[in-house]
């Protein structure tokens, strides 16, 4: 599994002449790192008397980010698996009409799966951003820059996942479904941009004291 590799090994795999892991897995990794870094900010806030008033919020955020971290970590491998299914479908024979039909059906199913996975990645990264906004606003200001880095990573996860959705949309036979997915990810993009902007503002304010 990709998530079990050493960092150097994963980076080597990412830079190799193979389609997986690719941008989708990298986007999920960005979200995983964002969730982990956000969790660190929570840890640096909890247990300090000065921040006791926000302890319930930080504990809730910590728990949410921990769950999202696990989800996104799993999606690193799921994205690679989804692309592998597309690759297998593309290699199916297409000499006879029956083979062409079978190949088209398999490719359509694989493309839909390869689109659904990055949609989940984008949604999970957006959920991380939602948590980070509040963490940046009330968490330990000494870790404000970490909250900011986490927000940028989460936003990158959303943006990268959306790109992976769009590149697979043309392969989905159900054009109505493809249209709904495009509308869905466009909204995720807009919401991510808003949250990043608001989180950046919070980080800047906390860093200025």
131 occurs within a structural domain? yes
> Any idea which of 27-41, 85-99, 114-128, 135-149 has the lowest mean pLDDT?
85-99
The number of distinct structural domains making up the chain is: 1
Look up the CATH number of the domain holding residue 71.
1.20.120.680
6 occurs within a structural domain? no
> CB atoms < 10 A from the CB of 101, how many?
11
Q: pLDDT digits over 55-77, tens only?
A: 999 999 999 999 999 999 999 99
Q: pLDDT digits over 15-47, tens only?
A: 999 888 999 999 999 999 999 999 999 999 999
- At residue 25, the pLDDT reads 96
Look up residue 9 and give its two tokens: 């090994």
CA distance 53 to 65: 20
Contact 162, 122 (CB under 8 A): yes
- At residue 160, the pLDDT reads 98
For range 106-110, the mean pLDDT: 87
69 occurs within a structural domain? yes
The answer on pLDDT for 101 being more than 90 is no
CA distance 202 to 181: 31
Residue 192 sits in which domain range? Answer: 22-208
The 3 state secondary structure assigned to 34-53 is: HHHHHHHHHHHHCCCHHHHH
Q: Please tell me whether residue 41 adopts helix, strand or coil conformation.
A: helix
- At residue 33, the pLDDT reads 98
The answer on pLDDT for 209 being more than 80 is no
4 occurs within a structural domain? no
> CB atoms < 10 A from the CB of 68, how many?
26
174 occurs within a structural domain? yes
């Amino acid at each position: 599994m990709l998530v079990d590799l050493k960092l150097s090994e994963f980076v080597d795999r990412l830079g190799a002449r193979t389609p997986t892991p690719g941008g989708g897995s990298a986007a999920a990794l960005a979200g995983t790192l964002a969730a982990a870094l956000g969790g660190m900010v929570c840890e640096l806030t909890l247990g300090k008397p000065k921040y006791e008033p926000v302890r319930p919020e930080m504990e809730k955020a910590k728990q949410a980010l921990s769950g999202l971290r696990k989800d996104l970590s799993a999606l690193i491998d799921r994205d690679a698996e989804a692309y592998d299914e597309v690759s297998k479908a593309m290699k199916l024979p297409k000499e006879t009409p029956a083979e062409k039909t079978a190949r088209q059906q398999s490719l359509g199913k694989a493309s839909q799966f390869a689109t659904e996975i990055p949609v989940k990645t984008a949604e999970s990264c957006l959920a991380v951003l939602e948590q980070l906004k509040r963490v940046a606003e009330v968490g330990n200001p000494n870790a404000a820059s970490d909250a900011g880095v986490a927000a940028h990573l989460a936003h990158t996860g959303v943006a990268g996942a959306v790109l992976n959705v769009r590149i697979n949309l043309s392969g989905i036979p159900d054009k109505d479904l493809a249209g709904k997915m495009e509308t869905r990810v466009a909204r995720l993009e807009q919401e991510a941009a808003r949250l990043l902007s608001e989180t950046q503002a919070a980080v800047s304010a906390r860093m200025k004291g």
